[in-house]
A and B are shown apart, each in its own frame.
Chain A
Amino acid sequence: MTATTETRPGVLQSIGAQTRQLSFWAENAAPIGLVALVIVFSILSPTFLTLGNIKAMLVAAAILVILAIGQAFVITTGGIDLSISATMTLGAIGFGLAFSNGLGFWVSALVAVVAAMVIGLINGLLIAKGKVTDFIATLGTLSVATGLALIVSNGKPITVTSPELLTLTSGSIGIFGYPIILAAVVAVLAWFFMFRTRFGLHVQAVGGSEESAVANGVSATKIRMAVYLIAAGLAGLAALLLVARVGAAEPAINTQYLLNSIAAVVLGGVSLTGGKAKIVGPVIGALLLTALTNGLTLLGVSQFYQPLAVGLVVVLAALLTRFQKK
């Protein structure tokens, strides 16, 4: 008798502790996963935690971090941007064409961002004004942007040798290369606009309940236009880093950037149904995915296994988000 009365609260307590733990894991999937990966890879590979590799990883992560932030704005409104990597490709080709026609770095950079934002504008118009499902609209513009990039580049990569791009890709302050510093600036600005301004509050409100937001005078149309423009603009910025990294503007599809940008946001604990904004989470998610790829490469695991690993991590993270506190 006494035994049962003593154990019962004990069992209840441990169940309570477990559920608490589970939601704790779900809330912090990205940072915990990142720390776990770093520990595992640093045990398995002596080069993983060297300064040189950390620097390389951070530089490699910059593009994904910027795309993930763009994607986070869209997903916070309950939408999704499948065209984000194709938009980046189009931006890169825009940059390459402008640069090879002698327009100089800054003008070419502007061309890249503007070309990308045209796709964002089309997305925004289709989804916000045309009431087309985000999935279909951005699937369409994914194809459109990819096709345009192929057409204007004639399917060939455009080699770019720009001293500015060289500085961008090779310059650094300590172990932080310019690309990751740029990404960090983007992240800080994104956080500021999401959590400290009227615009960010309206983004969250539209994602949480469009009907209620509209009833309170928020223009859901404007907000949706804005988030797709932001995602596209950031894709244009990422295009510069991509060209700098590759040394050429390639009309490649870059599917892995699309999947990883969504994966980073999901890893970061943002609900695909919208309404819950996070910026730090997606950034850490992007770092995690980059560390995962980097670690597997260092361990000599075949490249073929990398999509598998990324896929498993994302599905696990998505499962974990079910246990997030409401």
Chain B
Amino acid sequence: MTDQYNSRPDVAPFTGSTPARDFILTATDIKKSFGGVHALKGASMTMRRGEITALIGDNGAGKSTMVRTLSGIHKPDSGEITLDGKVVTFDNPKAAQAQGIETVQQNLALVEDLTVWQNFFLGREKTHGFGPFRTLDRKLMRTTAADLLKDLAVNVPPVTSKVRRLSGGQRQAVAIARAAGWGSKIVIMDEPTAALGVQETARVEGVITSLRDAGVAVLLISHNFDQVMRLSDHVWVMRAGMAVAERRTAETDGDELVALITGAKAA
């Protein structure tokens, strides 16, 4: 059972029969080396519209490199990325953001000494006035940040509080809301709950689900199989620089995923 739209059935054998227009993102035959280390050896993967796609794999399988390629941090040596059916290239993270791909870094990229709203708009501040006396539109930024946060998170911190004062889950919510708040098509999250307790993990998972419900495609990198099973609609498995298998989450289970990751089961 091969996918007529899949150009590399040997790499990613089973994709069902999804029409190409339903893919918000495709990455085809991505290669990336760092010196003698071949981090990606021609990996291909897809993301479907309005779904949470999980990307799993052992340490060193190439997940991070894949994610960094999609978010514009690394330029692939070869291969093609399409977004909404159009071929795109990103020279830097700004370019990826401009095309609608936002990434929530594992370290969240928040500045602790700044307030929530300042972090929200850091690098993309709203201003009014002219020239050197162009001032920050603080009111607009505060209300916008508060609105976006309220839509996503239950336990909303005041936007005027410093990030230093927030809990881990609140910080994660701020980082996710920031990523989602720019009309993004895709939000990439690298281990969003790795450092969180049970309750906070549940809250952040709620945030991720509401993001999906708002129509944003989410790429979730996680080591937590329970979480992948709970949240994702589709799973891609990476091993040794290749995306070796994909499954609909509903049609697989944790044991099969472990087997795919370790290579005990060949795709």
Chain A contacts to B: CB under 8 angstroms:
192, 196-198, 201-202, 204-205, 207-209, 211-213, 215-218, 275-276, 326
Contacts of B107 in A (CB 8 A): 211-212
Q: Are A208 and B134 within 8 A (Cβ)?
A: no
Q: Is B109 an interface residue (CB 8 A)?
A: yes
Q: A197-B135, A201-B122, A201-B136 are in contact. Are A208 and B113 (CB under 8 A)?
A: yes
Q: Are B125 and A204 within 8 A (Cβ)?
A: no
Contacts of A204 in B (CB 8 A): 111, 113-114, 118
The SS class assigned to the A binding surface is: helix
Q: Which residue of A lies closest to B125 (CB)?
A: A198
Q: Which residue of A lies closest to B120 (CB)?
A: A216
Known A201-B122, A209-B111, A212-B111; 15 more pairs at CB < 8 Å: A196-B135, A197-B132, A197-B133, A197-B136, A198-B127, A201-B118, A204-B114, A205-B111, A211-B109, A212-B107, A212-B109, A217-B123, A217-B124, A275-B111, A276-B113
Q: Is B181 an interface residue (CB 8 A)?
A: no
Q: Are B112 and A208 within 8 A (Cβ)?
A: yes
Contacts of B135 in A (CB 8 A): 196-197
User: Which of A192, A196, A204, A208 is the most central at the interface, judged by chain B CB atoms within 10 Å of its CB?
Assistant: A208
Q: Is B158 an interface residue (CB 8 A)?
A: no
- Alpha-carbon distance between A208 and B125 when the two chains are bound, in angstroms: 17
Q: Please report the total number of B residues contacting A with Cβ < 8 Å.
A: 25
Q: Are B164 and A216 within 8 A (Cβ)?
A: no
User: Which of A202, A204, A216, A326 is the most central at the interface, judged by chain B CB atoms within 10 Å of its CB?
Assistant: A216
Q: Are A205 and B114 within 8 A (Cβ)?
A: yes
Q: Are A275 and B113 within 8 A (Cβ)?
A: yes
Q: A197-B135, A197-B136, A198-B134 are in contact. Are A217 and B111 (CB under 8 A)?
A: no
- B93–chain A nearest beta-carbon distance, Å: 7
Q: Are A197 and B114 within 8 A (Cβ)?
A: no
Give 28 A-B contacts (CB < 8 Å), ordered by A residue.
A197-B132, A197-B134, A198-B127, A198-B134, A198-B136, A201-B114, A204-B111, A204-B113, A204-B114, A204-B118, A205-B111, A205-B114, A205-B118, A205-B122, A208-B111, A208-B113, A208-B114, A209-B111, A212-B109, A212-B110, A212-B122, A213-B111, A215-B105, A216-B122, A217-B93, A217-B123, A218-B123, A326-B164
